Structure 1
Amino acid sequence: MVITKDAPRISAAYVGRFAPSPTGPLHHGSLLAAVGSYLEARAAGGRWLLRIEDLDPPREMPGAACGILRTLEAYGFEWDGEVVYQSRRLDHYRAALDRLVAAGLAYPCACTRREIADSSLRGIDGPVYPGTCRAGLAAGRAPRAWRLRVGEGETGFLDAVQGWQSQVLARDLGDFVLLRADGYFAYQLAVVVDDALQGVSHVVRGADLLDSTPRQIYLQQALGSPLPGYAHLPVLTNAAGEKLSKQTRAPALEIERAGLELWQALTILGQQPPAGLRGAAPAEVWRWAFAHWRLGVVPRQRAIMDG
């Protein structure tokens, strides 16, 4: 177990995590999520885990996982326990899917993306799946993916930053994918299984995942897993309103600017670090942040423009 010497004493009650995907180097947007989740865990006297979500090889960049670890270390982050890699946990995801299938909660789907788009209304995350294969596969059709059968009721939760959130999954999304047509497990299943197995009690992450949370809560309930608390921080966008990402050419973090960029992240998160800390060594910025972090002053909005 690794503990920052300036952080509060570790307690078994709170377990947070940071779970980047190795699709490229960390940037200002991913730093914001890391800072918020790290400080909230330490302020609660809890543990902070690091998980590499490497379940989508076609999107991953060679060497990105190692680069993420080096960057986090250079910025002064200290995680607890070993780093977990999703690519090494496929048996856990298969076991969870098998449980859902045995309970009649998951079913095979033969539909292509084009077929779904041609017969669906637009929902919160693309076309709403119309339930074509719910009653069984049509004659001559082979399964492509596996979906979770969702109910008609509302799924809601109180987010610690964004307030009350809810969806009617059947209306807003439809039965969603657990195992993709390309053979890879879907993010929604993997993250729920991992959070449960790792004992994650609180999830602090970017608001780009806010709309995924009702799906994850529904899946947690289907698997009988504990429900963590959620806090979704504003994401950073570029001048065009696009979320900072590899696809939008977000610049990578620069290790030689670590202190300055930590100060900027704290400022964006509403913490008002003193100007004298601007560009200070990371250890000095963290010392102030451990003593002054307040989740309650984080801006209650989904996005903030970078810079």
Structure 2
Amino acid sequence: MNAIRIDGKAIAELLRARVAHDVALLQAECNVTPGLAVVLVGEDLASSVYVKTKARQAQAAGFKSQQFLLPSNVGEAELLELIEELNADVSIDGILIQLPLPGHVDRWRVLEAINPAKDVDGFHPYNVGRLAAGRPALAPCTPLAVVHLIKTVVTDLSGLDVVVIGRSNIVGKPLALLLGDAGCTVTGAQLQTRNLPDLCRKADIVVAAAGWAELVRGDWLKPGVIVIDVGINRAIDSVGTVKLVGDVAFTEASKRASYITPVPGGVGPMTVAYLLANTVNAAVSRRGLSWLMNPDARHVWPSSVREKNRAVDLQQAT
């Protein structure tokens, strides 16, 4: 068996096109342009590249995109002051603080300072709590990306056994909630889990998000399993070349799985695309414009009704 690759780049391109369509609709119907502010503290190369990618894609989708590059020794009070300014800025719908932060900055104090309505990373305790309660919320981008990718190859997730390796607040925990809401039976695992290979062999879907290069081996998997690899690790091959690898031994797993995501080119592009989608959702929700994103309602409502609602929405937004 040779697994079919789930092409995250191509699927992300479709999602970004949908986002761009929604942005154009917001601009045409309500004169609203979603705004995304990304804050980077320090000069970490990988984070800098990631922030530039987000900014470029936001601009391509028609967003108002702002980047704030702060020195690594910035005071926590100064960072919190910037967040308060962004919270108060009506043109900004999404605030993203690029992690990790320097050790002298309390990460949770910073994340909790973000207005939950603008928390497009989905990390604020308010959104985490709503997600856990099964209520509408801004969910973390990577778990949303994983569920989307799975749904491109499985139409009904009800009753499927899923093992999620990794229990982080960013991926593992919220992903387990999303998959559970979709009807899956989810087992949360980690590096310390006893008999981890045996657990994986029973799963219909294995999601690897432990941050351990090529942890999941081919003989851990039952034939026909769907494998989603969230990990991004730097490894050195036999000739000394540095390369990116996932948490799954790709070649081995491809011989057992029915579908598999590559690294790179799998979950990563979709994570950025969902940041854009979350920002549009935040822009719509903050202004009470949910009716606008309902195609049936748009076509049915008379123009005069749309105009009246548009005026009310804009008055409330300002």
Name the TM-score class by shorter chain: under 0.3
TM-score by length of 1: 0.27
